């Protein structure tokens, strides 16, 4: 049931509550906590709060919310994530099972740093929790913090994020710094109706190379919401590899807003791995700003039960001879839905651009539904572009072959689904990272089977 | 103890393909089936595996006394039946090593983990016997394999799973002369008093290597003649014309 192009207005189950123009009082930021923060940041946080209050919740006719709805991320009843107990901290630290070798690992629980370790970080590389970076590297943050405005639908949430942001990692790799091991960050949330604002900023200097893995996870299965922002700035010839591994509990909701700026001859690979949450939305913009730059935009989701995954992307070619390749794959089960909306924009003058976009859906259930809305806007010459979306049920031949070798139905379907998304994950080109993500996918299937 | 097929009838929606097929393969025996294109040889092997395209309308199949037709596809395999496919399928993204490992894992009792070290040791030994390059462990199952490589990969699976009853559906087609020899040696290495084989082929050259005890001729969905190894030679010389006369 793939929808190649939106033709009709989406069906809505219930009428939407009136737009939320004034903010719920329990989300009002405590600006007195920012007294230590640089002046500019206080100003921006206050302005962001004003902006949040003035912006309406995206309405039903908002094109960026087509086939979805902003009330999936309703803020009603939510509050800022609160203090946690010692036992919860312990549980979060113990639950942070990640890569065996990392250059740095930060663990946050309810937007508070509870663990930090670095292991032989290369000379000059900075990996700091957001609040500390604000004090010690304020000038860099002033230059880069949320400078690329979110414009794929979640402007209001981005403003709320900026008004509250305190947690997350700031990663600054100076010119020529090559990090051998990845940096891994865990963001845990605990408490019913908790709201967290994880932030990630990666600035790679010219020819620097850095790999970062973000995890978003819940201590318990309860309603909670994560409004994350991740920005990547790739200097000339640099390489950034980034994974957002969304592993929240089934009752939680996730929003991940990310923007990437790729300078001359730089390369950024970013993967959205959506495993948890009742509703998960990602908005990913890649600005190919420098000649010869390349962006790989990757996505994998494996929704079960009634999970909804909502993906919005923009491949924005601003300079000549730029290359972008988007591959999103979804394996849907039960009564799940995925919505993919992607635009390739080739700006005036971005000649000799190569831009590819593919969304493939594997439907494991007749009740699942995958909506794909690809789009193209070309204003330059000598451009190679292609886009396509496919949806198909699991192949009966493949299934028969596996079962004919004695592999039970469920395991066979799982093998096929994992195989289906494997080429996306392999594109990360990082053996240990690939293995650890594969493990997480297998764990999800194991949990589902239990 | 045997794979016992009695008066088997199977059809696709618009017509019957197996029309009263009967055969007993006992452990230790090698049976060969020859027969013209379209006579139903591959259909027989797929029906035995439980392929959903075919409906069994009458007859029975038992594997060591157990009702094979009552089992699911995967249970039949675990019960000891193996089919080396005439046209093996491709599974994108699933490595050959993981695939075979999952098949072996499925044969263990619940909660027991396959010993990975022992598994790879055995896998590499079998691959060496089949003169397969190690690169085939990491490649996706059959994806981009040449015709001959796919056939070799089927026999690798056979050698890893060690089934009690194996059906080889035109394993020789697509194999070059050297590969035919290597693959046949692999099959012969598996021959034992505990294992039975049903070898489907069009050509004597395979039977030169895998020597059958009994040769059958299948025409229009059933066996019409059986004999010793000399029957294959006779068929090769005279073609299926003689069977029509018989
Ligand atoms: N799923 C199917 N749908 C339609 N027709 C089928 C199907 N399976 C088999 N047939 C038909 O049944 C007949 C027997 O096919 P089968 O593949 O069993 O023959 P075979 O003896 O294996 O032939 P070959 O020697 O060419 O391999 C053929 O006419 C074939 O077209
Ligand atoms: Mg055949």
User: How far does Cα A83 stand from its chain's mean position?
Assistant: 26
Do B74 and A406 make contact, defined as CB atoms within 8 angstroms?
Answer: yes
Distance from CA of B245 to the nearest CA of A (A): 38
Q: What's residue A119's pLDDT?
A: 86
Distance, in Å, from the CA atom of A77 to the CA atom of A15, rounded to the nearest integer, reads 19
Residue A374 has pLDDT above 50, yes or no: yes
Task: Tell whether A329 is covered by a domain.
Answer: yes
Mean pLDDT of B152-177: 96
> pLDDT-based confidence at B242, cuts 50/70/90?
low
Q: Name which of A359, A203, A343 is nearest A286 in CA terms.
A: A343
Q: Work out the minimum CA distance from B226 to partner chain A, whole angstroms.
A: 29
Structure tokens at A40: 């500019």
Q: Is the pLDDT of residue A120 over 90?
A: no
pLDDT of A169 above 70: yes
Q: What is the pLDDT of residue A176?
A: 97
What mean pLDDT is predicted for residues B44-48? Answer: 98
Partners of A104 in the beta sheet?
Answer: A118, A183
Q: Determine which of B68, B72, B93, B101 to mutate to test the interface with A (most A C-beta atoms within 10 Å).
A: B93
Residue B8 has pLDDT above 80, yes or no: yes
Read off the CATH number of the domain in which B86 is found.
3.40.50.300
Q: How confident is the model at residue A8 (pLDDT cuts 50, 70, 90)?
A: very low
Q: What is the mean pLDDT of residues A358-363?
A: 97
pLDDT at A306 > cutoff 50: yes
Percentage with pLDDT > 70 across chain B: 98
Q: How many CB atoms lie within 10 A of CB A14?
A: 7
Do the domain assignments include residue B191?
yes
Find the range with the poorest average confidence among A7-21, A396-410, B16-30, B105-119.
A7-21
Specify the pairing of strand A167-173 against strand A198-204. Answer: parallel
Identify the residue whose C-alpha is closest to ligand 1 atom 17: B42
Band of residue B213 on the pLDDT scale cut at 50, 70, 90: very high
So what's the ipTM on this one? 0.96
Domain of residue A44: give its range.
25-394
CB contact under 8 A, A403 and B94: no
Task: Give the whole-angstrom CA distance, residue B231 versus residue B218.
Answer: 13
Could you tell me the pLDDT band of residue A25, with boundaries at 50, 70 and 90? low
**Does A15 reside within a domain?**
no
Q: Looking at residue B237, what is its pLDDT?
A: 85
- Nearest ligand to residue B202 Cα: 1
Q: Could you give the CA distance from residue A61 to residue B105 in angstroms, rounded to a whole number?
A: 51
B12 lines ligand 1 (CB under 6 A): yes
Short-list B95, B103, B50, CA closest to B78: B103
B170: which 2 tokens?
A: 């035109």
Cα–Cα–Cα angle for B35, B36, B42, rounded to 5 degrees: 70
Residue B235 has pLDDT above 90, yes or no: no
Positive or negative torsion for Cα A135, A137, A143, A144: negative
As a whole number of angstroms, the distance between CA A386 and CA A189 comes to: 40
In the predicted model, what is the mean pLDDT of residues B28-33?
97
In a domain, A432, yes or no: no
Closest chain B residue by Cα to residue A422: B93
Residue that the structure tokens 């690809």 belong to: A374
Which candidate, B15, B65, B41, places its Cα nearest to that of B170? B41
| Segments in A65-137 forming alpha helices (H) | 86-95, 130-136
pLDDT value for B244:
56
pLDDT at A286 over 70: yes
The answer as to whether A326 is a domain residue is yes
What is the model's pTM?
Answer: 0.89
Is residue A157 assigned to a domain?
yes
Is B10 within the bounds of a domain?
A: yes
Q: Are A105 and A183 in contact (CB under 8 A)?
A: yes
What residues contact A33, with CB distance under 8 A and at least 6 apart? A166
Mutation pick for ligand 1 pocket among B16, B19, B43 (CB with most ligand atoms within 8 Å): B43
pLDDT digits (tens, 9 = 90+) for A383-426: 999 999 999 999 999 999 999 999 999 999 999 999 999 999 99
- Tell if the CB–CB gap between B93 and A401 is shorter than 8 Å: no
Q: Has residue B35 been placed in a domain?
A: yes
Range of the domain at B52: 3-93+161-245
Residue A4 has pLDDT above 60, yes or no: no
Across chain B, mean pLDDT equals 94
The answer to whether A410 and B74 have CB atoms below 8 angstroms apart is no
A24 phi, psi to nearest 5 deg: -65, 135
Per-residue pLDDT band at A23 (split at 50, 70, 90) = low
Instruction: Note the pLDDT of residue B209.
Output: 95
Are the beta carbons of B218 and B244 closer than 8 angstroms?
Answer: no
CA of B174 relative to ligand 2 center, distance in Å: 13
Atom of ligand 1 lying closest to residue B202 CA: 25
Q: Give the number of domains in chain A.
A: 1
Share of chain A above pLDDT 90, in %: 90
pLDDT at position A13 is: 45
Residue A115 falls inside a structural domain: yes
Is the pLDDT assigned to residue A66 strictly greater than 80?
Answer: yes
Q: How confident is the model at residue A15 (pLDDT cuts 50, 70, 90)?
A: very low
Q: Are B179 and B148 in contact (CB under 8 A)?
A: yes
The reply to whether A411 falls in a domain is no
Residue A446: inside a domain, yes or no?
Answer: no
The answer to whether residue A146 scores a pLDDT higher than 80 is yes
Cα separation, B145 vs A216, whole angstroms: 40
Choose the closest CB to B74 out of A395, A403, A421.
Answer: A403
Mutate to test the pocket of ligand 1, among B8, B11, B32, B38 (most ligand atoms within 8 A of CB): B38
**Is residue A16 scored above 70 in pLDDT?**
no
What does the pLDDT average to over A313-337?
97
The total number of structural domains that make up chain B: 1
- Please tell me which residue, A103 or A20, carries the higher pLDDT value: A103
Q: How does the average pLDDT of chain A come out, rounded?
A: 93
Contact predicate A390/A362, CB 8 Å: no
Q: What's the helix, strand, coil split of chain B in %, to 5?
A: 40, 30, 35
């Amino acid at each position: 049931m793939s929808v190649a192009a939106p033709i009709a207005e989406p069906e809505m189950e219930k009428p939407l509550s009136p737009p939320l123009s004034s903010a719920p009082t329990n989300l009002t930021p405590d600006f007195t906590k920012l007294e230590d923060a640089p002046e500019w940041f206080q100003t921006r946080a206050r302005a962001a709060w004003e902006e949040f209050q003035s912006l309406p919740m995206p309405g039903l006719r908002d094109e960026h919310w087509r086939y979805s709805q902003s009330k999936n991320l309703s803020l009603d009843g939510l509050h800022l994530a609160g203090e946690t107990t010692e036992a919860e901290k312990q549980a979060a630290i113990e639950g942070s099972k990640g890569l065996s070798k990392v250059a740095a690992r930060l663990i946050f629980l309810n937007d508070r740093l509870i663990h930090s370790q670095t292991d032989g970080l290369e000379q000059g590389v900075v990996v700091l929790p957001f609040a500390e970076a604000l004090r010690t590297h304020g000038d860099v943050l002033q230059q880069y913090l949320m400078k690329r405005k979110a414009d794929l639908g979640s402007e209001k949430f981005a403003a709320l994020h900026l008004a509250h942001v305190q947690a997350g990692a700031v990663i600054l790799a100076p010119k020529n710094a090559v990090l051998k091991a990845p940096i891994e960050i865990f963001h845990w949330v605990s408490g019913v109706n908790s709201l967290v604002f994880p932030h990630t900023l990666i600035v790679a200097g010219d020819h620097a190379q850095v790999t970062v893995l973000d995890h978003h996870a819940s201590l318990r299965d309860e309603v909670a919401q994560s409004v994350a922002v991740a920005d990547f700035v790739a200097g000339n010839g640099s390489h950034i590899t980034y994974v957002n591994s969304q592993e929240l509990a089934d009752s939680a909701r996730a929003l991940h807003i990310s923007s990437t700026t790729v300078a001359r001859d730089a390369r950024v690979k970013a993967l959205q791995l959506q495993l948890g949450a009742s509703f998960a939305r990602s908005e990913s913009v890649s600005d190919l700003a420098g000649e010869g730059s390349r962006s790989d935009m990757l996505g994998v989701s494996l929704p079960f039960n009634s999970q909804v995954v909502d993906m919005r992307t923009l491949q924005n070619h601003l300079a000549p001879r730029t290359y972008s390749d988007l591959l999103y794959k979804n394996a849907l089960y039960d009564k799940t839905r995925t919505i993919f909306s992607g635009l390739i924009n080739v700006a005036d003058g971005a000649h000799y651009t190569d831009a590819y976009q593919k969304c493939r859906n594997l439907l494991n259930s007749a009740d699942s539904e995958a909506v794909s809305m690809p789009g193209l806007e070309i204003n330059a010459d000598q451009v190679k572009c292609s886009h396509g979306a496919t949806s198909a049920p699991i192949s009966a031949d493949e299934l028969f072959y596996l079962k004919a070798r004695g592999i039970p139905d469920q395991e066979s379907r799982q093998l096929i689904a994992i195989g289906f998304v494997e080429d996306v994950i392999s594109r990360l080109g990082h053996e240990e990272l690939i293995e650890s993500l594969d493990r997480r996918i297998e764990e999800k299937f194991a949990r589902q089977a239990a | 103890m045997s794979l016992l097929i009695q008066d088997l009838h199977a059809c696709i929606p618009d017509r019957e393909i197996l029309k009263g097929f009967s055969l007993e393969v006992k452990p230790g025996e090698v049976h060969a089936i020859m027969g013209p294109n379209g006579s139903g040889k591959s259909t027989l092997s797929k029906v035995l595996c439980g392929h959903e395209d075919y409906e069994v309308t009458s007859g029975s199949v038992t594997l060591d006394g157990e009702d094979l037709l009552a089992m699911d596809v995967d249970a039949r395999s675990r019960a000891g039946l193996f089919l080396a496919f005439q046209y093996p399928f491709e599974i994108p993204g699933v490595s050959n090593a993981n695939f075979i490992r999952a098949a072996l894992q499925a044969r263990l009792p619940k909660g027991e983990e396959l010993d990975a070290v022992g598994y790879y040791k055995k896998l590499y030994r079998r691959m060496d016997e089949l003169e397969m390059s190690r690169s085939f462990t990491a490649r996706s199952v059959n994806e981009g394999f040449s015709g001959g490589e796919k056939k070799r990969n089927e026999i690798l699976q056979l050698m890893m799973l060690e089934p009690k009853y194996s059906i080889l559906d035109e394993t020789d087609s697509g194999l070059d002369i050297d590969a035919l020899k290597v693959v046949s040696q692999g099959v012969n290495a598996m021959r034992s008093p505990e294992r039975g084989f049903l070898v489907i082929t069009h050509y004597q050259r395979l039977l030169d290597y895998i020597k059958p005890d009994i040769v059958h001729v299948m025409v229009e969905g059933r066996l019409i003649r059986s004999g010793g190894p000399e029957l294959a030679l006779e068929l090769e010389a005279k073609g299926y014309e003689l069977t029509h006369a018989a």
